[in-house]
A and B are shown apart, each in its own frame.
Chain A
Amino acid sequence: MSIKWRSRLTVYILSLLIWFALTDIKKFEEVAAGIVISFLVSLIAGHMLVTTEKSKSPIMRFKSAVIYLFKFLWEMIKANIHVAYIVLHPNLPIKPGIVKIKTRLTKDIAITVLTNSITLTPGTLTIDVDKQAGEIYIHWIDTFTIDTDQATKEIGGKFEKNLVEVFE
């Protein structure tokens, strides 16, 4: 089975599950309409979800994904308290700047997850990604350092190890 059809099958099962969660499963009409509509959706737009083969075993990937999720939630709570401190302070203690960090990730979905979690963690916002050079430009609300290597360790280093295990 080629990878396109496997991706379509995944999308079919997911959309069918969401349909059953949202509608009444005892009625025959709802079930029939769900089967037809999920088939159409997976035929039209199903080939975009899974695009690359994964080499590692699913159990290990699931384990590091759970570790990543908890780390991300903790960082996010810290980020919110940090923003609350800045906003409530009378003098607005900010020192903004745009810095550059390097990344080892190459796949599209890994870079997307990394940039999304950088945006939601303390004081940083992704501005642009240069995929060929492996560089990410980041707006930092209180610039701790302007050196590229140190900024890489400070911002991206927390998540990169887990993401390599999950996606690469």
Chain B
Amino acid sequence: MINEIVGMVLICVGITFDFFGVLGLIRLPDVYNRLQAATKCVTFGSAGILLGVLIIHGFSDLGIKALLGIFFIFLTSPVAAHAIARASHRSKIKLCDETIIDRYQEDNELLDKGVDMTSVEETNN
């Protein structure tokens, strides 16, 4: 009885944070901000739902699969977010207008100029 109540509370908290993540996906202005809100909140929310299922059902086959699912989403979700963020920055998708600094862009431009300078010097020699 007590574990059903605790599991239900965990499931409700998880669904609430899922809702916040999806709301961030709808409301925020550009890809990077959307990725931040969605990755954090939806990962935490789904982990909460799976933990609630594990607590309600105990260590049966469904519970152990839910535990595997928690490990799996904690490992894969940030990696996918990182890959998408780097790809969208390299394919020159603009950041939103409120952005105040972009160190990655500056360093890439410096790197490009440096490579050009050395190649020019080598050809001259």
Contact = CB atoms under 8 A, between A and B. Distances in A.
B115 interface: no
Contact residues of A: prevailing secondary structure? mixed
B103 interface: yes
Interface residues of B, number: 43
A139 B99 CA distance: 10
A146 B99 CA distance: 12
A126 B82 contact: yes
B100 A97 contact: yes
A88 interface: yes
A80 B36 CA distance: 10
Contacts of B37: 83, 86-87
B104 A123 contact: no
A115 B99 CA distance: 22
Contacts of A80: 17, 20, 40-41, 44
Nearest to A97: B101
B5 interface: no
A155 interface: no
Nearest to B79: A116
Contact of A125 (B39, B43, B44): B39
Contacts of B17: 80, 84
B20 A119 contact: no
A97 to B, nearest CB: 4
Interface of B: 17, 20-21, 23-24, 27-30, 32-33, 35-37, 39-41, 43-44, 61, 64-65, 68, 74-75, 78-79, 81-82, 85-86, 89, 95-96, 98-105, 107
Interface of A: 18, 21-22, 76-77, 79-80, 83-84, 86-88, 92, 94-100, 115-116, 119-120, 123-128, 137, 139, 141, 143, 146
